[in-house]
Amino acid sequence: MEDRVEATITVNGTRLTRRIEPRMHLIDFLREELGLTGSHVSCEHGVCGACTVRVDGEIRRGCLTLAVQADGRTVDTVEGLSDSGELAVLQQAFHERNALQCGYCTPGMLLTAQALIKEHPEATREEIREFMSGNLCRCTGYQAIIDAIETVLRTPRTEGVR
């Protein structure tokens, strides 16, 4: 009964067509079928945010999205957004503020933080906390992560980075 379904998805700018098992999560498709292991899998029920990716420009839970649901859509992962330079300023700030330790949550943190930077560049520290509340970190703790995001928001925009 679980016949594979054909889906055409544009991943990090590359359009590809695959036959996909319906029950496969988007995050597993990206990691296991395409080898894009930058986005991580953790809770698998939408709580932790480690699997955050972009679908049609908006952040999503990769574990609460079926790969077949991405048919006809654009998916961006931390790999694509790193290569394009979109995340460069944020990544630098994470580095400087020591906002990661084991790094497991970091790809999801970066994608969520980048959504915040685009949508609410004027966000207060409290609003940053609120926006980031769906991404869990188990080692660095949150202060350094919030510090890094706040640094980016408070730094005058440099040409060509966003």
Partner 1 sequence: MKPSAFAYARPRALEEAFALLDKHGENAKLLAGGQSLLASLNMRLAAPEILVDIGAIPGLDGIAVRGQTLVIGARTTHRAIERSEAVAKHAPLLAQAAPHIAHVAIRNAGTLGGSLAMADPAAEWPACCVALQATIVVTSKKGERRVAATDFFKDLYTTALGAGELITAVEIPCVEKGERHAFLELVRRRGDYAIVGLAARARLKGKTLSGVQLVYLGVGVTPVQAKGAMAALEGKTADDAAIRAAQDAIARDLEPNADIYTSAEAKRHLARVLVARAVAALVG
Contacts to partner 1 by CB under 8 A: 1-3, 5, 21-23, 25, 28, 44-46, 49, 52, 55, 58-61, 63-66, 68-69, 71, 112, 115, 129-131, 133-135
86-90 contacts at long range (C-beta below 8 A, 24 or more positions apart): 86/114, 86/162, 87/114, 88/161, 89/152, 89/155, 89/158, 89/161, 89/162, 90/114, 90/117, 90/148, 90/149, 90/152
Phi-psi region of 85 (alpha: psi -120 to 50; beta: other; left: phi over 0): left
Cβ distance to partner 1 smaller for residue 5 or 144: 5
* Nearest distance in Å: CB 61, partner 1: 5
Cβ distance to partner 1 smaller for residue 69 or 151: 69
Cβ distance to partner 1 smaller for residue 41 or 152: 41
* Nearest distance in Å: CB 46, partner 1: 5
